[in-house]
A and B are shown apart, each in its own frame.
Chain A
Amino acid sequence: MLTLLRDLRRLRSGLALPRPERPGSLAIRHVDAGSCNGCEHELVLTSSPHYDLQRFGLGLVASPRHADVLLVTGTVTTRMREPLLTAYRAMPEPRRVAALGDCALGCHPLGTASELVGPVDALFPVDLRIPGCPPTPDAIAAALLELLDRPAGRRLGRT
């Protein structure tokens, strides 16, 4: 156990992103609306020692009711349309929506048209676009930090 903790301390000091002074925080609720799981796998690693996004006040939360940001991956499938809208409606204002990955953004959708609703902005306004297939943890971290630095409550999205 001690070895594990020592390794982690070394990793954090040697590898993690530098932490500039940054006030504030964002609670993020992720919803997989029909991804290939690549975007999720990269998102998971933003909490690994190399990136450690929690240090910046960015945390993934379990309930949309606790969330500032809805982070959506994948082209929205017909079967995920309702669950996604339910999560969105459950969020307090001001809420922001981030579309993670090319699928969520509507680039090169793959599949049968009748099984797909379309990109995230077919359902509600998107505040942050994170392109890539999948975006690297670096790119995800940079985009979310940019959102953190934006003045809050500029727009209140409504369904």
Chain B
Amino acid sequence: MTAVSGAEGYRERIGTALAGSWRFAGLHATAGGTAVRVLLAAPDGSTRLESVAAERATAPSIVDLVPAAAWDEREAHDLQGVAFAGHDPLRPLVDHDPDLGRWTVPVRGHDPYEVAVGPIHAGVIESGHFRFHVVGDRILHLDIRLFYKHRGLERAAEGATLEQGMAYVGRACAACTVANGVAYAHACEEALGLRPTAELRRARTILLELERIWSHLNDIAAVCAGVGLAAGNTRFAALTERARRLNAALTGHRFLFRTVAVAGSALALGPDELRAAREELTALREEAASGWRELAFNASFQDRLPEIGVVAAAAARRLGTTGPAARAAGVREDVRAASPRLAYDGFVAVVPERATGDVQARFEQRALELWQSFTLLDALLEHPLGPAVAERSDAERELGVGRVESPRGATSCVVERRGDRIERLRLRTGSYASWPAVAHAAADDLLPDFPLINKSFELCYACTDR
């Protein structure tokens, strides 16, 4: 149950919490920008919200306490009109109208120049703009401007019923539709005083792990593409295709669209489907393992991966990096380890032996998590699954929080409601949390290495932009 507190001592309470074991998990302004709320999460899975009134549309900034809150405050300024005292300069994030000088960091010195890339990129890539400040080929600093795909999904969902809200969350991003959907469902259910039954927990966990499997297969293919290793890329692209076909066989949709609902699940899997699915997963695992071995022994490929795009543990913590990118730096944090609303009992997060936070470590991390997901799914698919519901457990309340480990890290959803309608919806995805780490990773490396560095994160633009 998320604890909610407000009024006096906002900054002090947050400072004390962060000095303990609490972690920053998101900040948003309420509808109309009258208050600001900070979501904190503890390793045991508990969450709490700290609020402060935005008097005369200004709230105290917390970026000095948590640099990871920088994007959230910039977004709250651009979308809800809240200023943050102490956040200076408060650069625009979602607002694209201000001049270049307002949103880029000034770079001075001998011979620096700017290389502007995007929003349209050379391949089939989502739209976003990268502005590199370089000397020769060396990147001094990278300013990332996203939100080209901002559709105003959160605002559009305001006034919709909790049930209707799922459409906005589900279509925010195809690669995270399940993770976002489950985070939203958990938030709604907490507000409604509902708890998922064991069957519902299992249904959602199956969907989350199916999503992770196709996603991580895709990410391994993407790193191969980043290096130009066509054989590795096509091998893992073929496995991604098969994982999507498996999704379609189990749920009727290759990306698992519309499989997550508030307060229930319609997913039913009989013994024959389960047998076929487990066989296919075993085959996929064996073929992925054989492809992975080939990559491991390909020296010219492996030579390209170490010591570039480094995000070490201290930087990952400071920037609020999450998911595989943080674990690859040795930060052993994974929401799955404390998810009582899901079926992850006994889950322990993995990190690579060589957890240096470079491209190689992030690449390796995908494989480690992939093997883990195959094992999890094999057990989850042992028994037939029927439609399931959530049951009453607590009193209803105005506000609910959900947190889920998406393939790209911790995703938090806050739902504030009035009756059965959404008053404010905030979806802060693993990608959103980790984008600042991409800029950090690029600094000091060579410009031609950036595509590979970016692929080693493979973050979504769609659910960041919303």
Contact = CB atoms under 8 A, between A and B. Distances in A.
Interface secondary structure of A, over-half rule: mixed
Contacts of A136: 254
B127 A112 contact: no
Interface stretch (B23-31, B115-123, B438-446): B115-123
B152 A112 contact: yes
Interface of B: 96, 119-120, 122-127, 147-153, 155-156, 167-168, 171-175, 177, 218, 231-232, 234-235, 237-238, 240-241, 244, 254-255, 257, 287, 290-291, 293-294, 297-298, 460-462
A79 B148 contact: yes
Interface in A34-52: 34-45, 47-50
Contact of B153 (A15, A45, A110): A110
A62 to B, nearest CB: 4
Interface string A46-89: 01111000000000101100000000001101011001000100
A65 to B, nearest CB: 12
A36 B171 contact: yes
A49 B385 CA distance: 33
A91 interface: no
A119 B150 CA distance: 15
Contacts of A156: none
Contact of B124 (A3, A30, A48): A30
27 contacts: A1-B297, A3-B290, A3-B294, A4-B231, A4-B294, A8-B231, A8-B234, A8-B235, A35-B149, A35-B462, A36-B171, A37-B175, A41-B175, A41-B218, A43-B124, A44-B237, A45-B237, A45-B241, A45-B244, A48-B234, A48-B240, A83-B120, A110-B151, A110-B156, A110-B168, A112-B151, A115-B152
A145 interface: no
B416 to A, nearest CB: 18
Contacts of B148: 34, 77, 79-80, 83
Given A34-B127, A40-B124, A44-B237, 10 more contacts: A31-B127, A41-B255, A42-B254, A47-B234, A60-B123, A60-B124, A62-B122, A79-B150, A110-B168, A110-B171
Given A37-B173, A37-B462, A7 B125 contact: no
B124 A77 contact: no
Given A35-B462, A41-B174, A5 B231 contact: yes
B238 A48 contact: yes
Given A8-B235, A74-B149, A36 B172 contact: yes
Contacts of B174: 36-39, 41, 134
A45 B242 CA distance: 11
**Interface range on chain A: under 10, 10 to 19, 20 to 34, or 35 or more?**
35 or more
A11 interface: yes
Q: Point out which of B125, B127, B172 has the most chain A C-beta atoms below 10 A from its C-beta.
A: B127
B240 A36 contact: no
Given A87-B120, A111-B151, A133 B238 contact: no
Interface of A: 1, 3-5, 7-8, 11, 15, 30-45, 47-50, 60, 62-63, 74-75, 77, 79-80, 83, 87, 110-112, 114-116, 133-134, 136-137
Nearest to A34: B149
A75 B462 CA distance: 12
Contact of B235 (A7, A32, A50, A111): A7
B175 A4 contact: no
A4 B224 CA distance: 13
Contacts of B173: 36-37
A106 to B, nearest CB: 14
A17 to B, nearest CB: 13
Contact of B96 (A47, A75, A79, A116): A79
Given A3-B294, A44-B237, A75 B151 contact: yes
Contacts of B290: 3, 7
A37 B231 contact: no
B236 to A, nearest CB: 9
Nearest to B214: A41
B123 A114 contact: no
Nearest to B218: A41
A87 to B, nearest CB: 6
B156 A112 contact: yes
Nearest to A41: B174
Nearest to A86: B120
Contacts of B153: 110-112
A26 B289 CA distance: 36
B274 to A, nearest CB: 24
Contacts of A62: 122-123
B150 A11 contact: no
A11 to B, nearest CB: 5
Contacts of B238: 8, 11, 15, 48-50
B66 to A, nearest CB: 28
A93 B148 CA distance: 28
B97 to A, nearest CB: 10
Nearest to B232: A4
Given A36-B172, A134-B255, A49 B151 contact: no
Contacts of B254: 42, 134, 136
Nearest to A7: B235
Nearest to B224: A4
B198 to A, nearest CB: 31
Nearest to A61: B122
A47 B155 CA distance: 37
Contacts of B293: 3
